[in-house]
């Protein structure tokens, strides 16, 4: 899921100790309280101090009213709440009690995907009409004492950035390792298949039916939590066990790891796919799966986090390559109607593909070897990553890098501009 950018700091209304010291001096001066009002900037309070006793007598009253004064001077809307859980209607999508009011965040940013947004507390509500490049700030007064500076901002035009990255170099012949897929006869995969009873879950249908059944099963047994810590052992059995024992969720990478090993165990060729935005440093990316369908003779997009797959106008399943191309070219894309986040929020083409995945399909990365325990780093192990870059990507070189982690695992990174090499059909 997308992590809101905390791109501005909002200090406490005033530093009271500093204010007390300043106000009790004999002078006539301009004292500046370190107040930053959202949408306004720095606000300075001019105080003429000529009489020490009179000033000290009014200090307590002044300090008492400062929070109210700051709110009123900011001229921002204030809504009330007694619960820290709020709901948001973003266009047609209603997110019931999925937003946590956080006074410590300054500001706390909700990124809107639609033109019309309404923010609901248990006592109040506020609505805005969104425009590109414009944000709306307001305060939530929680339990009559805690003030949460909240911002609603429009989703940046990620689709425009993606369209500018349409060009690849199909003639790029720089060497990258071949993609390989672990055999279902591997003892670790055989154990996963037996312990999780994957044949029963996959069912007796065609390969696409089995792929969807396994994806939805992972979605239903594991809760997504983008802020969770990854377990030390990163394989399907260990991740599922941690979630059950600790009653917690894991991030999209761990969910895709589980599904990838389930696909490999059942005999499908599969990769987990890291989808990243243009910046080299970012707060959010997304990890999905692509699994090869022999029936369709193509890679197929499967996303266990959102229980999502993508189709064209004929209802035919698409892979990441085709989804990216169709987003850029403005061609029809259909997301399955039951796509959702944690069975709480529905996901549509608009909020899932046009906004969220348009941001995260700029750079794409997979491991060269798809196998159990791929990212369980141990001493002496080697993990190789291959990244597909468009021609206008920020960092094209070096084409090959290598480093050793603190656990003694060697990490190799390769770059390519060739979609043909990156999306190659599995051969083994």
The structural domains of the chain, with segments of one domain joined by +, span 16-75, 79-155, 167-422
Computed on alpha carbons and rounded to an integer, the radius of gyration of the chain in Å comes to 26
Question: Could you tell me the pTM of the whole model?
Answer: 0.72
Residue carrying structure tokens 């969220």: 356
Q: Which of 127, 134, 80, 136 is nearest to 108 (CA)?
A: 136
| pLDDT at res. 171 | 95
Residue 277, class by beta-carbon neighbours within 10 Å (0-12 exposed, 13-18 middle, 19+ buried)?
A: buried
Rounded CA-CA distance 142/140 in Å is: 6
Q: What DSSP string runs through 305-346? A: TTTB-EE-TTS-B--HHHHHHHHHHT---EE-TT-EETTTEE
β-pairing, 93-100 vs 125-129, is unpaired
Q: Which of 20, 14, 16, 15 is nearest to 56 (CA)?
A: 20
Residue 30, class by beta-carbon neighbours within 10 Å (0-12 exposed, 13-18 middle, 19+ buried)?
A: exposed
pLDDT tens profile 372-409: 999 999 999 999 999 999 999 989 999 999 999 999 99
Query: What one-character DSSP code corresponds to residue 250?
Result: B
Q: Which of 113, 19, 87 is nearest to 350 (CA)?
A: 113
Residue 149 pairs in a beta bridge with 139
> How many other C-beta atoms can be found within 10 angstroms of the C-beta atom of residue 340?
16
- One digit per residue, the tens of pLDDT, for the chain of length 428 reads 443 333 332 223 233 223 223 333 333 333 233 332 223 233 322 323 334 444 344 434 433 444 444 444 458 999 999 999 999 998 888 888 889 999 999 999 998 878 899 999 999 999 999 988 889 999 999 999 999 999 999 877 889 999 999 999 999 999 999 999 999 999 999 999 999 999 999 999 999 999 999 999 999 999 999 989 999 999 999 999 999 999 999 999 999 999 999 999 999 999 999 999 999 998 899 999 999 999 999 999 999 999 999 999 999 999 999 999 999 999 999 999 999 999 999 999 998 999 899 999 999 999 999 999 999 999 999 999 999 999 999 899 999 999 999 999 999 999 999 999 999 999 85
Tokens of 335: 């997301």
């Amino acid at each position: 899921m997308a992590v809101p950018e905390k791109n501005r700091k909002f200090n406490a209304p005033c530093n009271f100790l500093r204010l007390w010291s300043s106000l009790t001096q004999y002078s006539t001066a301009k004292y500046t309280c370190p107040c930053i009002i959202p949408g306004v900037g720095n606000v300075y309070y001019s105080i003429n101090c000529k009489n020490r006793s009179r000033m000290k007598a009014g200090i307590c009253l002044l300090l008492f009213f400062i929070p109210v004064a700051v709110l009123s001077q900011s001229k921002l809307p204030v809504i009330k709440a007694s619960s820290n859980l709020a709901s948001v209607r973003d266009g047609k999508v209603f997110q019931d009690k999925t937003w946590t009011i956080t006074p410590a965040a300054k500001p706390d940013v909700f990124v809107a995907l639609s033109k019309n947004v309404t923010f609901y507390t248990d006592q109040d509500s506020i609505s805005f009409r969104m425009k590109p490049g414009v944000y709306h700030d307001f305060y939530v007064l929680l339990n009559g004492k805690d003030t949460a500076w909240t911002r609603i901002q429009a989703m940046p035009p990620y689709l425009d950035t993606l369209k500018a990255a349409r060009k690849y170099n199909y003639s790029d012949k720089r060497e990258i390792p071949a993609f390989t897929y672990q055999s279902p006869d591997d003892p670790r995969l055989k154990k996963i298949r037996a312990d999780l009873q994957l044949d029963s879950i996959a069912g007796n249908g065609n390969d696409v039916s089995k792929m969807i059944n396994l994806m939805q099963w992972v979605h239903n047994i594991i809760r997504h939590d983008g802020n969770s810590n990854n377990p030390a052992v990163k394989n399907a059995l260990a991740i599922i066990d941690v979630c059950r024992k600790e009653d917690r969720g894991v991030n999209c990478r761990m969910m895709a790891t589980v599904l990838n090993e389930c696909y490999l165990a059942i005999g499908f060729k599969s990769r987990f796919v890291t989808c990243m935005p243009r910046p080299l440093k970012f707060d959010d990316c997304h990890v999905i799966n692509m699994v090869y369908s022999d029936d369709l003779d193509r890679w197929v997009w499967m996303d266990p986090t959102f229980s999502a797959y993508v189709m064209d106008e004929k209802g035919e399943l698409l892979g990441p390559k085709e989804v990216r191309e169709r987003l850029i070219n403005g061609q029809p894309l259909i997301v399955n109607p039951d796509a959702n986040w944690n069975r709480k929020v529905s996901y549509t083409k608009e909020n899932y593909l046009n906004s969220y995945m348009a941001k995260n399909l700029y750079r794409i990365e997979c491991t060269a070897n798809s196998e159990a325990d791929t990212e369980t780093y141990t001493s002496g192990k080697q993990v190789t990553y291959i990244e597909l870059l468009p021609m206008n990507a920020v960092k094209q070189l070096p084409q090959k890098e290598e480093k050793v982690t603190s656990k003694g695992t060697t990490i190799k990174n390769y770059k390519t501009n060739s979609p043909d090499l990156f999306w190659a059909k599995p051969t083994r």
